[in-house]
Chain A
Amino acid sequence: MHPILARLERLAGYLALWGAVGVFESAVLTQQGLTWPEALVQVLPPLLVYSFVCLSAWYVCRATPLATSGVPRVLTASIVAAWVGAALWLALNEAWLATLESMPQVTPIIPRFRTQIPFLFAVSVMLYLLVLSVHYVVLSFEAFRTAERQQLELQVLNRDAELRALRAQVDPHFLYNCLNSISALTGSDAAAARRMCLLLAEFLRTTLRVSMQQSITMAEELSLAERFLSIEQVRFGARLQVEQSIDENALECQVPPLVLQPLLENAVGHGIAGMVDGGTIRLDVVRRGDRLSITVENPRDPDAVPRKRGGVGLENVRKRLAVVFGGAARMDAAASPTGFRVAIDLPSTVDA
C-alpha cells in the first residue's frame, strides 16, 4: 500500500504542501493584475491533479530500489517518470486554461502560460523529482526499521534457543540416574563416588557457562562432551565404548555451544542404553577448508520398539543451526535398522 494514501493525515499534509505551492503561484499572478479568485481557479485544479500524478513516484521507487539497482538505472527511471509527469501536467493546464478562456469573468492567463512552457516544464520536472526523492527517503527509513526489528527478533530467538537447549541439556533424569550411581558408589568405592561428584559438578558448571555464550571453540565443546561420556561410562560400564577421531585443526573453530552434546545424549539414550551388550559410539570431527563437519554414529538394537520421545534434542540443534547460520549449515540424520548416524556440516569460523 502507498505510504501516503494509506493514512489520511499523511495525505492531508501532502495536499497542504501542494496547496501552498498553488497559493504562491497565484500570489505571483495577482502581482500581474489578476484578482485572487481568478488566479486560484486557474492554478489550483491542475496542480492538485498533478499532486496525485506525483504519487506515482512511489511505484518508480519500488521498481528501482536504491539498494539493488545501479545508478544509471535509477537516474533513467527517475528522469523518464519526471518527464512523463511534467508533460502530463502541461497538457492538463492547457486543457483547463483553454476551457476557462471562454468564460467572460476570467482574465485568461493562457497566452502567458504558452510563452512560459519551457520554464514551467522544468519546474514541474523538479517538483516530480523532489517527490520522488522524498519517497526514496521514506523507503530507506522503513527498510532500516525492518532490519532493526529482524535483528531484535533474531536475538530473542537466540536467547530462547539457548534456554531451551539448556533445559534439554541438563535432563533431570540424567541427573537422577547420576545421583543414584553416586549413592551406589558411596557404599562400595568412596573415592569413585567423589570422582563422580566432581565430574558432575564440572559438567554442570561448564554447561551453564557455555550456554550463555554465542559461540565457543570446538575444543571446549569436546571437553564438555568428554565429561558427559565419562559420567555415562560410570553408569553403563563396559557397555559404553567410545571411539573418536578429532582433527587438530578443528579445535580452534567456533561453534554454537552444545551442538555436539545432544547428539551424544541421543546416541547413548536411544542407542547404547537399548542394547544388552552395549556398543561403540563413533565421533568424528573434521575441518576441510572453510567447512567443519561433526559426525556421531551409534549402533542400536534392531528389535527395539521405536521410542516416541526421541528427536527433541536433535530437533533443537537443527533449529539453532538454522537461527545462527541460516542456510549455511545443515544437519543430516540417517537411521538404519542397526544404527543411527547424525552429521552436522557448518562453516568453520575462527575467532581473530
Chain B
Amino acid sequence: MPEASSLPLRVAVVDDEPLARAVLCEFLSAEPNVEVVAQCANGFEAVKAVSELTPDLLLLDVQMPKLDGFEVLDLVGRDVAVVFTTAYDQYALRAFEVHAVDYLLKPVSAERLSEALARVRERLDRGERSASAGTRAGAMAAAGREGYAHRVLVRDGPRVHVIPVDKIDYVQAQDDYVCFRSEGKDYLKEQTLGEVETSLDPAAFVRIHRSYLLNLARLVRVDQDERENRVAVLTDGRRLPVSRAGYTRLNSLL
C-alpha cells in the first residue's frame, strides 16, 4: 500500500498524435503509483484539464495546433509540473529556461520517463511546482525566441483567450496583475508590466507611464490638462496619463 507521503502522481498526457499519447500511457501504466487523469490532443484541452483536474504533472508535446507547449506552460506553469516530450532537441535550452522539470526526446524510452517521474516527485516532495516563475520565464522566453510576440494568451479558468497584439489598445499595471484592454474588454493576467513590455515590439508599444503601455496605433494626440499634466487621447476617446519620461519616449518615436 502506498504511504501517505507517496500519493499517486496524477499525470495529464498532452500530444496531438494519438500514438505518441498511447506509448506514454503504456509506459505510465507500468509505473507504480501513477495515475493518468487526462489525455489531451491540443493546448486548449491541456489548459482545461489543468483547471478542472489539477494534475501534478503535464507530459507536454512542443509542436501542437493552436497553442504550442511553451504557450501552455506560460499559461499553467504555476499550477503544474511540466515535462516536455518532443522529437526536436533545439528546444531543450529554452525548456530549462522556463523551468520545465525535464525534457524527453522522442522516441521516448520507459527508463528515461521513469527518471523524469522521479525528478518530478523529488520536486513535489520539496513542495515546489515546476515553474515558480513560470509566467515570467515563459514571457521572457517567448520574447527571446522569434522576435516579438504575435499574440498574448490569457487564461480564464479552463478557457484561454488569444489576443493578437494589434488588437490590444493598451496594457495597464494593476498590483500583481496586468490588464490587457482589447476590443472593449479587459483581460487580467498575472504578470508585470515590464515583462509585457519586453515581449512586445518596442516600435509598436510605448511605456507612456509607470502603469501604462500604449499601442501607438491607438494614439490620436497628446493633450495638456489645466495642471500641466500630459494626457494621451486614444481613438476611442479614452484618456491615459503620460509621464515626463513617457512623453520623451513618445516624442522619440513620433
Mark A residues whose CB is within 8 Å of B: 173, 176-177, 179-185, 187-188, 234-237, 239, 273-276, 301, 303-306, 308
Residue of B23, B41, B146, B151 contacting most chain A CB atoms (<10 Å): B23
* A276-B66 in contact (CB<8A): yes
Tell me whether A180 and B63 are in contact in the complex, defined as CB-CB below 8 angstroms, given that A235-B19, A303-B162 are known contacts. Answer: no
Which A residues are in CB contact (< 8 Å) with B105? 176
* B22-A184 in contact (CB<8A): yes
Question: B87's contact among A180, A276, A303, by CB below 8 Å, is which?
Answer: A180
A260 vs chain B, min Cβ distance (A): 24
How does the 8 Å CB contact mask read for B8-36 relative to A, with 1 for contact and 0 for none? 00000000111110110010000000000
Question: B106's contact among A176, A187, A239, A275, by CB below 8 Å, is which?
Answer: A176
* A183-B151 in contact (CB<8A): no
Q: Within the assembled complex, what's the spacing in Å between the Cα atoms of A302 and B20? A: 26
* B66-A187 in contact (CB<8A): no
Tell me whether A188 and B22 are in contact in the complex, defined as CB-CB below 8 angstroms, given that A273-B65, A301-B65, A305-B150 are known contacts. Answer: yes
Which A residues are in CB contact (< 8 Å) with B116? none
Mark B residues whose CB is within 8 Å of A: 16-20, 22-23, 26, 41-42, 63, 65-66, 87-88, 105-108, 146, 150-151, 162
* A181-B88 in contact (CB<8A): no
Which A residues are in CB contact (< 8 Å) with B22? 184, 187-188
Question: B65's contact among A184, A187, A276, by CB below 8 Å, is which?
Answer: A276
Which B residues are in CB contact (< 8 Å) with A301? 65-66
- Main SS class of interface, B: loop
20 A–B pairs (Cβ distance < 8 Å), ordered by A: A176-B87, A176-B105, A176-B107, A179-B106, A180-B19, A180-B23, A181-B17, A181-B19, A181-B20, A182-B107, A187-B22, A187-B26, A188-B26, A235-B17, A237-B17, A273-B65, A301-B66, A303-B66, A303-B162, A308-B146
B101 vs chain A, min Cβ distance (A): 20
* B108-A180 in contact (CB<8A): yes
Given contacts A181-B19, A183-B107, A301-B66, 17 further A-B contacts (CB under 8 A): A176-B105, A176-B107, A177-B20, A177-B106, A180-B19, A181-B17, A183-B108, A184-B23, A184-B26, A187-B22, A235-B17, A237-B18, A273-B16, A273-B65, A276-B16, A276-B41, A301-B65
Which A residues are in CB contact (< 8 Å) with B88? 173
The total number of A-B Cβ pairs within 8 Å is 65
Q: Which residue of B lies closest to A183 (CB)?
A: B107
Q: Which residue of A lies closest to B20 (CB)?
A: A180
Tell me whether A234 and B19 are in contact in the complex, defined as CB-CB below 8 angstroms, given that A183-B107, A275-B65 are known contacts. Answer: yes
Residue of B18, B22, B65, B66 contacting most chain A CB atoms (<10 Å): B65
Which B residues are in CB contact (< 8 Å) with A308? 146
Q: Which residue of A lies closest to B43 (CB)?
A: A276
Which A residues are in CB contact (< 8 Å) with B108? 180, 183
Residue of B41, B63, B105 contacting most chain A CB atoms (<10 Å): B63
* A184-B20 in contact (CB<8A): yes
* B42-A183 in contact (CB<8A): no
A273 vs chain B, min Cβ distance (A): 7
Which A residues are in CB contact (< 8 Å) with B41? 276
Q: Which residue of A lies closest to B71 (CB)?
A: A305
Question: B63's contact among A183, A273, A275, by CB below 8 Å, is which?
Answer: A273
Residue of A176, A182, A239, A305 contacting most chain B CB atoms (<10 Å): A305
A176 vs chain B, min Cβ distance (A): 4
A300 vs chain B, min Cβ distance (A): 10
Which B residues are in CB contact (< 8 Å) with A179? 106-107
Q: Within the assembled complex, what's the spacing in Å between the Cα atoms of A199 and B131? A: 41
Q: Within the assembled complex, what's the spacing in Å between the Cα atoms of A275 and B63? A: 11
The 8 tightest CB contacts between A and B, nearest first, are A184-B23, A176-B87, A184-B19, A180-B107, A180-B106, A173-B87, A181-B19, A179-B107
Which B residues are in CB contact (< 8 Å) with A185? 19
Q: Within the assembled complex, what's the spacing in Å between the Cα atoms of A182 and B22? A: 11
* A187-B87 in contact (CB<8A): no
Residue of A180, A304, A305 contacting most chain B CB atoms (<10 Å): A180
B39 vs chain A, min Cβ distance (A): 13
Residue of A185, A303, A308 contacting most chain B CB atoms (<10 Å): A303
Which A residues are in CB contact (< 8 Å) with B87? 173, 176-177, 180
Q: Within the assembled complex, what's the spacing in Å between the Cα atoms of A185 and B16? A: 16
Which B residues are in CB contact (< 8 Å) with A188? 22, 26
Question: B17's contact among A173, A177, A274, A275, by CB below 8 Å, is which?
Answer: A177
A64 vs chain B, min Cβ distance (A): 58
Q: Within the assembled complex, what's the spacing in Å between the Cα atoms of A303 and B151? A: 10
Q: Within the assembled complex, what's the spacing in Å between the Cα atoms of A12 and B164? A: 76
Q: Which residue of B lies closest to A306 (CB)?
A: B150
Which A residues are in CB contact (< 8 Å) with B20? 177, 180-181, 184
Q: Which residue of A lies closest to B30 (CB)?
A: A187
B221 vs chain A, min Cβ distance (A): 33
Which B residues are in CB contact (< 8 Å) with A275? 65
Q: Within the assembled complex, what's the spacing in Å between the Cα atoms of A308 and B147? A: 10
Q: Which residue of A lies closest to B16 (CB)?
A: A273
A150 vs chain B, min Cβ distance (A): 39
Q: Within the assembled complex, what's the spacing in Å between the Cα atoms of A337 and B87? A: 28
Q: Within the assembled complex, what's the spacing in Å between the Cα atoms of A180 and B19? A: 8
Q: Within the assembled complex, what's the spacing in Å between the Cα atoms of A25 and B19? A: 97
